[in-house]
A and B are shown apart, each in its own frame.
Chain A
């Protein structure tokens, strides 16, 4: 059952070559691992707080053998981990939102934020974010991937820039645009 890091390395490489079977397997592993670590983190603290950056990094250390992955594979891994994280979060958000509201999602006004606690708002807000992100994904996939990595995987722009081998300036620009696109979609 325990994933050997060699497998993972091979899986990442295969996924990088576009083998969809490998991609699915890898996604499943990362998904499980992230979930496990997240649970551990959450039950450690007094109030639920989460260090997403640490989480994804820990999954990376746990699953992959860092020395064996080249830059390209690392890039794949983190992009994938961000997607997996997004999936986990959205799955939970869906369950919670459905629990409370019987499935329906009320439209979200910015002003309402102050009145309802973050925990109550979170599922719906995240679902809205997810939908906006999916729309953006169709039009500008690079920007939506950037948001995934930043928001769900907690990666710093500096780290992403290094991984993607682009300048921080470029990435900052991308981020500002991504952010504007998303907010424009979310808060019309």
Chain B
């Protein structure tokens, strides 16, 4: 038969609608009935959606399912018996006799050995063997069996899986949380040692008879999975190795394993242990990889299943804070999860103690109203002689502090509930003294309805008050429910209704439901106006909230109008100092920050600060945060000297009021260090950075991007101080962290890479420097475009390296290109521009273009002179360039004077022994000889 013909007809027929095929076939086959039948047969077969071809692996597996052989030994280990099989492969119990004593181990054989595995395993083995923690099963040994397959010998743990333990011991929510805290402790320990587990799941956690959980297979997932180069093949490897139910979304996508992955898995683990169900059923995606369903996980309290479902108190225990902690830990975006296992553990402890937790369910940590987005990719410009450096800068303004708010809220709650209990039960609540504020609140929320049945108006009021408290605690759903409850009551009067609506609007706004919030606040405002008058403080507060809603939606113009109006009304009706006025001033400042009108933010910030001070005194977090805001405004507007004492002051207050380590304090320390750096107080800056770094490491772990940012800034400082080798080492650490985060080309990593290129040059490694900078420039141009500061920086630094390597023409070409691009670039910091000009001028000098060099360096000097705060190293650099050009032009008087000034400046800022001081002196050396 003519296959080609059949095939051609079959294909054409497939391309048309089934209904048309018959007629078409009839027309094209003519009277060749055989041909037509053959095509029809194929079309019919094609219509069969499912058949044997779609079930290949299933069928093949079924026929190949052979008996499993048990090996006799693995190296020195003699196999006793099989223990089981896991995703990684088989597990055997084995013994080793060395004459004196017998050691037991669990031998794991990797089911899918890959070429890179052994190499990586040897690399990681030392790190893994260093992990010594009671909660971690140790890695004892590893090797290759006779067939060349690698195996691992792990400490053999006698115990039961954690999920089984929780079930058989019938642990309640508190005991389960305590157990999980032990697990967190072990994971935390490993993270500090820079080891990520990567495959936390019930099967990997055994609980011994004493109730202590022990983690198995630490770091193994990483050894196994880092293999593949492409995300696709990594996904495949992972899909084979991991239990995908516990793998974080980014892990399923084949991205490298980070600490955030462990936080996620701990979240899923808690979900399962607490509710008895897993949060998701995974499905296979289009590419063959596993994927999460589109819908978010239900809160664990609503998913309680199995035996637990019969105990109603379990749902109650989970609802609220525990729900939120679990869901925060297992947020899909790594950035919305807890930043570290420490943070997760600390919230779990807070829950145990009945304190307010930090998780808010929406990924926001602190009740900061951010001034300028805390975008760590945002870069500012720092300086150094011979090199031009970018440092990571962090600007943000905060408002009401979470810590403060939580503390005072806890008091309010206690007071309110104590009153309420007294009211409800004159003899006092049973065991009342032992109840935490939180427990009392929850109990109150359950009881008020019944207790106050006879007084519906009062019940409505309580309901509203409870809604306010839950809203303040971040439990918006509950707050919304309670506020609605109040609104449903017939007995509620107009004023109470307005209040309930305002509370409802606030909770809806916090939850991000802006449309509903807008409706509620409009109603509240109308009622408040009718009840209290058009221009009353309550109406002002409603307008202010409407302004916040507009701001969050990005409608800055409307936000400004509304906030200004609210402020004017509050000022007219309330007597200053007043908290409402202060908060609205703060709101206005935050709005200007969002609008990048930094200078306009100053006045409201100063006023808010004065008012908070008058109300609360100096030792108050609202005061401290507005002081930090003021310092940030100063820094951003170039008034570094003014910023410095502000940071000092805020820091002192934080030290008094906050726990020893706190994010707000760590952020202020880095701001403070940056200010010192900018002022040329390098050694003090260094000490501050150290302090901040230690705190960040404690709070965030060693691998966090914030730690990388601080390390980068420290290294920049070391470059300024001429400690080139130390700086180079640190830049490499920064790059390792980013690589470990799976973001080797993050903007901050790119900056550090360029800095490393500069450091290498200063070490005299010109070839390496050139190669690195060329690559960095290409990457930066590709990522950001050539006019971006990072791309420009790479170009400038490459030019300097080329110049020092004697490749003057190439250096000049690059400097010219950079200069041209820079002219077209908008909003480049003037100092950046000036420093680039200095380097360009020096290249021109090297190529003999003395006149151009002269003009360029002078204009750079003028620009720098016009700036308010320029650090001594930068000023010295311009002077030194001027001196060189003067001397080259034969103007020894001007040249010698400039060289002298530069040397003096360096001596003052850096000390007589510093490299830069000596370099400056060497430029002026001919003058001294005369």
Contact = CB atoms under 8 A, between A and B. Distances in A.
A41 B112 contact: yes
Nearest to B42: A180
Nearest to A119: B62
Interface string A122-141: 11011001000000000110
Most buried by A among B41, B45, B236: B45
Contacts of B14: 176
A103 interface: no
B169 interface: no
A50 B56 CA distance: 9
B53 A50 contact: no
A176 to B, nearest CB: 6
A118 B85 contact: no
B11 A173 contact: yes
B455 interface: no
A181 interface: yes
B260 to A, nearest CB: 27
B138 to A, nearest CB: 24
Given A177-B7, A183-B45, A43 B60 contact: no
A112 to B, nearest CB: 13
Interface stretch (A10-18, A23-31, A148-156): A148-156
A116 to B, nearest CB: 12
A20 to B, nearest CB: 28
B64 interface: yes
Given A92-B64, A122-B59, A186-B51, A61 B115 contact: yes
Given A58-B112, A122-B59, A140-B3, A42 B52 contact: no
B31 interface: no
Interface string A24-40: 00000000000010111
Most buried by A among B14, B55, B57, B68: B57
A121 B46 CA distance: 23
A151 B56 contact: yes
Contacts of A186: 51-52
A80 interface: no
Contacts of B288: 156
A139 B42 CA distance: 15
A183 B51 contact: yes
Given A42-B64, A43-B85, A46-B85, A177 B58 contact: no
A100 B63 CA distance: 13
B66 interface: yes
Contacts of B45: 179-184, 187
B490 interface: no
A2 B450 CA distance: 80
Nearest to B85: A44
A43 B68 contact: yes
B42 A184 contact: yes
Contacts of A154: 56-57
Contacts of A187: 45, 48, 51
Contact of A179 (B46, B64, B89, B115): B46
A122 B10 contact: no
A180 B3 CA distance: 13
A41 B111 contact: yes
Nearest to A66: B115
Contact of A176 (B3, B46, B64, B240): B46
A7 interface: no
Contact of A50 (B41, B60, B68, B90): B60
A75 interface: no
Contacts of A150: 53, 56
A49 B112 contact: no
Interface string A46-81: 101111111000100110000000000000000000
Nearest to A108: B52
Contacts of B42: 177, 180-181, 184
B433 interface: no
B61 A49 contact: yes
A85 B61 CA distance: 12
Given A40-B111, A176-B46, A184-B42, A88 B57 contact: no
B27 interface: no
A48 B56 contact: no
B16 interface: no
Interface in B273-308: 288
B100 interface: no
Interface in B1-37: 3, 7, 10-11, 14
B165 to A, nearest CB: 21
Contact of A52 (B3, B56, B115, B149): B56
A147 interface: yes
A43 B85 CA distance: 8
Interface residues of A, number: 53
A176 B15 CA distance: 12
Interface in B80-136: 85, 87-90, 111-115
B148 A2 contact: yes
Nearest to B237: A54
A93 B89 contact: no
A45 interface: yes
Contacts of A92: 63-64, 66
A172 B383 CA distance: 59
Interface string A96-112: 10000000000000000
A184 B41 contact: yes
A61 B84 CA distance: 27
A155 to B, nearest CB: 11
Contacts of B58: 49, 118, 122
B65 interface: yes
A83 to B, nearest CB: 14
B796 to A, nearest CB: 39
A58 B69 CA distance: 20
Contacts of A58: 112-114
A125 B147 CA distance: 34
Nearest to A85: B60
Contacts of A139: 3
A150 B52 CA distance: 12
Contact of A183 (B11, B48, B55): B48
A180 B49 CA distance: 10
B51 A118 contact: no
Contact of B10 (A38, A151, A180): A180
B43 interface: yes
B158 interface: no
Contacts of B53: 147, 150-151, 179, 182-183
A51 B59 CA distance: 11
A22 interface: no
Contact of B52 (A2, A46, A123, A129): A129
A89 interface: yes
B65 to A, nearest CB: 4
B114 A53 contact: no
Interface string A153-188: 010100000000000000001001101111110110
Contacts of B43: 180
Nearest to A86: B60
Contacts of A181: 42, 45
Interface of A: 2, 36, 38-46, 48-54, 58, 61-62, 85, 88-89, 92-93, 96, 118-119, 122-123, 125-126, 129, 139-140, 147, 150-152, 154, 156, 173, 176-177, 179-184, 186-187
Given A88-B64, A154-B56, 11 more contacts: A51-B57, A52-B57, A58-B112, A92-B63, A92-B66, A122-B59, A150-B53, A177-B7, A180-B45, A184-B44, A187-B48
23 contacts: A42-B61, A42-B64, A44-B87, A54-B236, A58-B112, A58-B114, A62-B115, A89-B60, A93-B63, A122-B58, A122-B59, A126-B59, A150-B56, A176-B14, A177-B7, A177-B11, A179-B45, A182-B45, A183-B48, A183-B51, A184-B41, A187-B45, A187-B51
Interface of B: 3, 7, 10-11, 14, 41-46, 48, 51-53, 55-66, 68-69, 85, 87-90, 111-115, 147-149, 236, 240, 288
> A-B pairs with the 4 shortest C-beta distances?
A44-B111, A50-B61, A43-B68, A183-B45
